Chain A
């Protein structure tokens, strides 16, 4: 059978807020049960300026999605470039070669000036499995690996800034 390559991506542009529904940033809104966490951070550009018109999307394969827990959310960045999700704390999931992956969130950044979605991950500092995580292990430079680790700034609140460009640029993944 012949293969037709996937349709080309285009930028989400500056007006995607027409499809923004702020409740989508709360993944617990359908009555999810479990340990609630907040994942928040600022998105900045190559000048260190806040990116105030981005859509940040979150996907987690654990806990498994259900009618009470979508596993997916979207949050627009505010005037300070900040996003904030309320969700459930993820657990470990299977990885390549029967290895476990450390708990993580998959994060997408979509914005004006981004033609093809930028994908990264957020891991949780202090998780023992981080040491052996097969995806983190692909990032050889420890300083770069650190851009993927969220830190707990208050009870249940985890911070991870996303830097699109520059010396301390976030690690992005080709998936």
Chain B
């Protein structure tokens, strides 16, 4: 029996707003065809299992906040700074939460054996990072702007430039995996992964903002990517 149960905030989280989350049954994205459930998901009340979640310490999960240098050597490509703030749906900061980051290199190739795109690997770019938010929910890391790459989903299919993100937040229910895109990318309108989000405003929030205030003079351009994790519902349910 979980003796900490009384100390855990067991208030449930809000249901997703209509159209703001993608449907797993998205025919334009070929990999969904045999991987999306046919049966409707069954709604369950939020119990301690859903309202509590893992806590990660930088001691056990060491941060890597600069992806642009490996073994003292600078990676090839356009160095960028990504800064952002994580809040819940009510605008409250999410402090001390772990963020995982991974991405392709500047040429559009991942340091991964199954990526066989005819583009060079960079021995000085691994493409993995890990940072934690501060007390105010803010995070920052340095990387290389990832390249676009072909992915054979349909004829002449190219993924827009993107960085993958994994967020945890306070609970199992706040877990989020997403991708950050870049402003003005002409491939966005052609991308079935990005376009799987029906709500245009929700889609647009996946695009980072160029921010001259984040830019460091003579060194790197800056982008801002703010993220919202689910917030607690006003009234309890299932109790």
Contacts and interface: CB of A to CB of B under 8 A. Distances in A.
B89 A172 contact: no
Interface string B28-46: 0111111111110111111
Given A19-B128, A94-B47, A175-B172, A8 B54 contact: no
A30 B60 contact: yes
Interface in B35-77: 35-39, 41-50, 52-57, 60
B156 interface: no
A9 B21 contact: yes
A157 interface: no
Interface string A55-70: 0010111111101001
Contacts of A71: 54
A166 B126 contact: no
B193 A59 contact: no
B78 to A, nearest CB: 20
Contacts of A3: 14, 89-90, 231
B17 interface: yes
B100 A116 contact: no
A7 B197 CA distance: 10
Interface residues of A, number: 75
Q: Which of A2, A5, A12, A17 has the most CB of B within 10 A?
A: A5
Contacts of B179: 10-11, 13
Contacts of B215: none
A157 B40 CA distance: 30
A9 B100 CA distance: 14
Interface string B164-193: 101000001101111100000000000001
Nearest to A52: B114
A93 B48 contact: yes
B112 A7 contact: no
Contact of A62 (B1, B24, B101, B228): B1
A138 B42 contact: yes
Interface in A61-85: 61-65, 67, 70-72
A169 B14 CA distance: 27
A125 interface: no
B137 interface: no
Contacts of B8: 61
A1 B90 contact: yes
Contacts of A170: 37
B23 interface: yes
Interface string A18-39: 1100000000001000000000
A18 B102 contact: yes
A45 B34 contact: yes
B41 A165 contact: no
A14 interface: yes
Contacts of A70: 54, 56, 60
A16 B96 CA distance: 23
Given A3-B89, A14-B114, A91 B2 contact: yes
A4 interface: yes
Interface of B: 1-5, 8, 10, 14, 16-17, 20-24, 26, 29-39, 41-50, 52-57, 60, 87, 89-91, 100-102, 104, 110-112, 114-115, 126-128, 130, 164, 166, 172-173, 175-179, 193-194, 196-197, 199, 202-203, 205-206, 227-231, 238-239
Given A9-B22, A108-B175, A174-B42, 11 more contacts: A1-B91, A8-B197, A10-B193, A10-B206, A15-B112, A19-B100, A46-B33, A101-B48, A164-B36, A165-B35, A175-B173
14 contacts: A3-B89, A12-B164, A12-B177, A13-B179, A53-B114, A61-B8, A70-B56, A91-B1, A108-B175, A113-B29, A113-B36, A118-B24, A174-B43, A175-B50
